Amino acid sequence: MNYIRIVAALVICFWAQPGITQQVLTKKEAIEIALENNYGIKLANNYVEIAKNNSSIYNSRMLPSITTNAGANYNLNDQEIEDQSGNIIKVKGAETKSYNASVNLNYTLFDGLGRKYNYKQLKETFNLSELQARETIENTYLQLFNIYFQIARLSENTQNLKETLEISKQRLQRARYQYEYGQATKLEMLNAEVDVNNDSILLLNAKQLLINTKRDLNIVLGGQQDINFEVETEVDFITLLTYDELLAMAKNENVVLNQIEKDILISEYNIRANRGDYLPTIGLTGSYGWNKSENPSTSFLAQFINNGLSAGINLSWNVFDGGNTKTRVANSKIALENQEILQQQEMETLENTLLNAYEEYQNKLFILSVQEQNVITNQNNFDRTQERYKLGQVTSIEFRQAQINLLRTRTSLNNAKYDAKLIELELLRISGQLLDIAF
């Protein structure tokens, strides 16, 4: 028992030390920090930039290609020629020099509309990447607030445990005085001491759990915060729409449904792009060239210069490619059908998830109102029990039970409050309103 007393004294002294003033991290500030530093959001934004680059006109094959070429050649030969009259001419070290330069243009005038629909696919892929980034942000919001409200929950529970410990310490002091003056048994004093020790351990564990949870929040925030902060514990509930209104909004704004719609559109463009391979390709070519050669005395021409423009149109038509185009078109149709199946599945899942969350939210709000009344009732009961305990009209066991009942109802109230808020945020996410809410 002496060992227990020492441990209890150390714990009490530790928590009784003046704390460092902690800065309050508001919900709005937490969101701003996460949007700036969260690793998942950073990656999502980079993927959006990649998709944006890919959707550029420079990646569409719609622009012409222009190339330049230049070259020079030098030949040194011993030559011997004989003309028709039989005269023989010998040249030792005959030099031949030639130079060339050209600018060439190639442009596809028509490729069966493949480029057109490929370009549209790239545009929709960019839009899809933005929706994927939005989903990442929404999930980060939920993750952030799950931890943020857990910290708020633990903060309030820790405060309740501090108050409980303080009451237990007062009860222990009273029991010691009564024992010293022979008004109470040693058993009653020991029971009070055990309760102080138990309350100290509960407070110690709650403090450690609070610190650990703050570290978890720091990870979501991108590791930019010191854990020496407090959070807002006030919870404001918004006025939600009816279930039918939420469902109608979810069908238009839910990020997962919107992504599937983009996938369907991309699949439709893919079918049209593949069908374009059935049609011919018409291309335009053009070039400007310059050539010059300097010849030895054995050549008929001492020097030759040529420059000018050339242009042409070519047509190619892969009349039969062994069935490759037919296979691609058939597979792209199946891919479109799969997306439509996924859309139907997600719609049914969304309706079920939304209904479950909506009904659970209503239940949590009811439980919250009941718990608020329970706290008031238990607080009144504890106050009256405490007064009667001071007058010696109730036992220490009855007083302890009233104390525990008050602590439990306060904890239950905190749980109900934050559980209801988290379900509210889930409803906002499902209906596509989460990022529009001002925190």
Q: What pLDDT, on the 0 to 100 scale, is given for residue 4?
A: 40
Does position 90 have pLDDT exceeding 80, yes or no? Answer: no
In a domain, 53, yes or no: no
Tokens at 237, concatenated: 């509930």
In a domain, 274, yes or no: yes
Q: What pLDDT, on the 0 to 100 scale, is given for residue 95?
A: 81
Instruction: Give tens-digit pLDDT for 227-236.
Output: 889 999 999 9
In a domain, 296, yes or no: no
What percent of the chain is helix, strand and coil (3-state, nearest 5)? 65, 15, 20
The tally of domains found in the chain comes to 1
Q: What pLDDT, on the 0 to 100 scale, is given for residue 438?
A: 76
CATH number at residue 140: 1.20.1600.10
Amino acid at residue number 168: S
In a domain, 392, yes or no: yes
In a domain, 90, yes or no: no
In a domain, 102, yes or no: no
Query: What is the distance between the alpha carbons of residues 149 and 426, in angstroms, rounded to a whole number?
Result: 14
* Contact present, 431 and 254 (Cβ < 8 Å): yes
User: Which of 349, 399, 431 is CA-nearest to residue 167?
Assistant: 399
Query: What is the distance between the alpha carbons of residues 390 and 4, in angstroms, rounded to a whole number?
Result: 26
Amino acid at residue number 192: A
Lowest-confidence region among 25-29, 79-83, 173-177, 393-397: 79-83
At 297, the pLDDT band (50, 70, 90 cuts) reads: low
Identify the burial level of 116 via C-beta atoms within 10 angstroms of its C-beta, where 0-12 means exposed, 13-18 middle and 19 or more buried.
middle
Query: What is the distance between the alpha carbons of residues 339 and 347, in angstroms, rounded to a whole number?
Result: 12
In a domain, 20, yes or no: yes
At 298, the pLDDT band (50, 70, 90 cuts) reads: low
Cα distance between the two ends of the chain: 50
Lowest-confidence region among 47-56, 297-306, 396-405: 297-306
Share of the chain above pLDDT 90, in %: 73
Lowest-confidence region among 6-15, 256-265, 299-308, 369-378: 6-15
In a domain, 62, yes or no: no
Task: Pick from 7-16, 133-142, 187-196 the range whose average pLDDT is largest.
Answer: 133-142
Average pLDDT over residues 7-14: 43
At 16, the pLDDT band (50, 70, 90 cuts) reads: very low
| Domain with 172 in it | 2-37+111-280+317-436
Which helix (H) or strand (E) segment is 316 a member of?
strand 303-316
* Contact present, 289 and 100 (Cβ < 8 Å): yes
